[in-house]
Structure 1
Amino acid sequence: MLAIFDVDGTISDSQHHITHAMALGFEAVGLTPLPASEVLSIVGLSLPEALMRLLPDAPQATRDAVVEGYKASYKSARAASPAPLYPGAKDLLDRLQAREDTVLAVATGKSRRGLRALVEHHGLERHFVSLQCADDHPSKPHPAMVQAALEETGMEAAQAVMIGDTSYDIEMGRAAGLRTIGVAWGYHPLDALEAAGVDHIVHDFKELEALLTRLTEEVA
């Protein structure tokens, strides 16, 4: 089984970094920061796509300036205090990585630099055999990241599952022909996951591990 994980809102609780950096990006161009709930609604998208949704009527130059301000602020916050993993995430990834019947991958809207920094900080370098990020692919929910992970690992869609906290993750997985698992602790409400057509919803890492074990047995 290939288990493809989203990062922000799924294994890493980076909401404070994200909302703070976006607020500073807005302030840098003289705009009033948006409510945190609105900012978290775009988590998972690449930054240009996210700003298109947050500032649909703004000039492109303004959106570009917010993106640059966000990147600079997020980089500073990451250097000072990297985003934590959710309690239980590292233990689950350790157990899954040790299994012979499971391969792990990442598909995230984070930049390559941001993803590498998080992976290295939390000692996950050996866990994921495929790291797909926003620098190399169209924004979610385009299926390119998932398709690249399948190709890199030699897996078929029927042997894989996409795990994420947003409707973009679910839509991306479905577009690539994968089964999908939505996590209840992330940044999109459950009704958004259900509207996106999620196959399963889990409420903690123990439940996620049990579901992955069952799905793995089904495709064995």
Structure 2
Amino acid sequence: MKPYSLLIFDWDGTLMDSAAHITQCMRNAIAVVGAERRSDTEIRHIIGLGLDEAIQHLYPEQPLSQIRDIADEYRQEFLVRTKHGSELFSGARETLHTLAAQGYTLAVATGKSRRGLDKVLDETGLRELFPITRCADETRSKPHPQMLEEILTDCDTAKHDALMIGDSIYDLQMAQAIGMASLAVSYGVHDLNQLRQHHPLGHVDDVTHIPGWLATQTTKQG
């Protein structure tokens, strides 16, 4: 017996090693608009939120017009100007295929835009593995649980049969808000001490460890 039927993955920092790319694109967008600089640490902390929400966290006192200007420039940086983006974490592709072969349904809940997620799904050739995906520009941004609620509805799955897997506090807060179990990954944008504050069932230090962790949950439940 599998411990869950549905595994919901965050994308950036969980499956794709994209923090450096996102940070650089945001730095460039900020420079083009002429806004006050933000440190790489500050930018990394907001990875996982929807784009508008992320920029509002960086510039809480700025008018909406400047937030939109930075967001527009970021989209240009990420989708148009940058020809070479990010790579999947080593072993991520094989891990996803293993989980699919084991009978898990796989889904994505991401702070990326629909256009951004479609781009990386096509570039990586992983689209067929994820029948259901949700993005921040088509529902509410993390940590609000709406995207999880919609995924559960689309998959006709109860929350106790699903597991949220992510590298940010926003992923775990989203799961907490709906009462869904979560698994933290320690190799992404937020450190393990931050993640543990939101009570994941456990953590893995490498994406390839996820099937093994799931096997331990099967043993415990058995």
CA deviations on 1:42-99 (whole Å, 9 max, x unpaired) are 0110111111110011122111111111111111255x11321000100100111112
- Asked whether the 8 Å contact 2:7–2:107 carries over to 1, the reply is yes
Amino acid at match of 1:207: H
CA deviations on 1:110-167 (whole Å, 9 max, x unpaired) are 0111111111111112111211111211110000111111111111111010000000
CA distance in 2, matches of 1:110, 1:189: 21
Q: Scaled by the length of structure 1, what TM-score is found?
A: 0.93
Task: Give the match for residue 199 of structure 1.
Answer: 201
Give 1:218 shift.
6.3
In structure 2, relative to structure 1, the CA distance for the partners of 1:116 and 1:71 (3 Å cut) is same
Question: Does the alignment pair 1:58 with 2:28?
Answer: no
Q: How does 1:64-103 map to 2 (within 5 A)?
A: 64-78=68-82, 80-100=83-103, 102-103=104-105
Q: Which of 48, 54, 63 is the aligned partner of 2:52?
A: 48
User: Where has structure 1 moved over 4 Å in runs of 4 or more?
Assistant: 216-220
Aligned Cα RMSD in Å? 1.6
SS of residue in 1 equivalent to 2:106: strand
Alignment length (residue pairs): 218
The alignment-based identity, stated in percent, is 35
Question: Does the alignment pair 1:23 with 2:31?
Answer: no
SS of residue in 2 equivalent to 1:126: helix
Q: Structure 2: 5+ residue runs without aligned partners? A: none
CA distance in 2, matches of 1:166, 1:184: 9
Task: Give the match for residue 159 of structure 1.
Answer: 161
Amino acid at match of 1:6: D
Q: Which of 107, 112, 134 is the aligned partner of 1:110?
A: 112
Q: Scaled by the length of structure 2, what TM-score is found?
A: 0.93
Amino acid at match of 1:26: I
Q: Structure 1: 5+ residue runs without aligned partners? A: none
In structure 2, relative to structure 1, the CA distance for the partners of 1:216 and 1:150 (3 Å cut) is farther
Comparing 29-38 with 91-100, greater Cα deviation is found at 29-38
Task: Give the match for residue 33 of structure 1.
Answer: 37
Amino acid at match of 1:55: Y
CA distance in 2, matches of 1:107, 1:77: 25
Task: Give the match for residue 10 of structure 2.
Answer: 6
Comparing 53-62 with 3-12, greater Cα deviation is found at 53-62
CA distance in 2, matches of 1:86, 1:54: 27
